[in-house]
Copies of this chain bind each other. A is one copy, B any other.
Amino acid sequence: MSTARPLRLGVYVFDGADEMDVVGPYTVLTRWAEAAHSRPDVVTFSDDGAGVRLAGGLLMVPDVAADAGGPLHVLVYPGGQGALLRMASSEHLAWLRDQRETVPLVVGVSAGALVLAAAGLLAGRPCTTHRDQAGLLAETEPSALVDTQAAFVDDGDVITSAGTAGALDAALRVVARLDSPEVAATTARSLDYAPGVPT
């Protein structure tokens, strides 16, 4: 991916987002960014910039609000019970569709893929999600081609993933695409993590 401005990657956070879906990709991306020549900017953001209580109880303070800091190259949308609640908000789904028009790569992690589906972003696409939610994904977007085995599905401008391990693997795929498979492998080694699938 070539760009005139520094790469900017955002991990969206909200009350009830799953800890691992947030922190797994965030850790992979920041570990890569620290070493990358292009010094990509990896930020966490919530709707209003205020702290959020993640699904297991962890309280975190994001870097910025959703409307701060300019456009993203990559948007990571985590799962968790909070993601399921967001599927019913037409205002939120409209925001997500707006994001989709400007962000080159959207990553729906675990139940985050369900929100992408609810926003109409997975129509006719191959995709995946948390194993326990494959049925709900197919109900939400009947035209989606739900892969119930993959750690992640890379469909070009949209990547979706399974849970914990799939989230790490999907983030490593993002590194492989933005940088190189070799750098993604180095990033995985620095985390003592062996991806389930080649990046």
Binding site for B on A (CB under 8 A): 18-20, 23-24, 26-27, 30-31, 34, 42, 44, 51, 56-63, 110, 130-132, 162-166, 168, 189-194, 196
Contacts and interface: CB of A to CB of B under 8 A. Distances in A.
Nearest to A161: B192
A103 to B, nearest CB: 21
B166 A58 contact: no
Given A56-B31, A60-B59, A168-B164, A192 B23 contact: no
Nearest to A31: B56
Contact of A192 (B27, B61, B131, B192): B131
A193 to B, nearest CB: 4
Given A27-B19, A58-B23, A165 B190 contact: no
Given A44-B58, A51-B61, A20 B30 contact: no
Contacts of A23: 19-20, 23-24, 58
A89 to B, nearest CB: 25
16 contacts: A19-B27, A20-B23, A20-B27, A20-B191, A23-B58, A31-B56, A44-B58, A57-B63, A59-B61, A59-B62, A60-B60, A61-B61, A110-B192, A131-B189, A132-B190, A166-B192
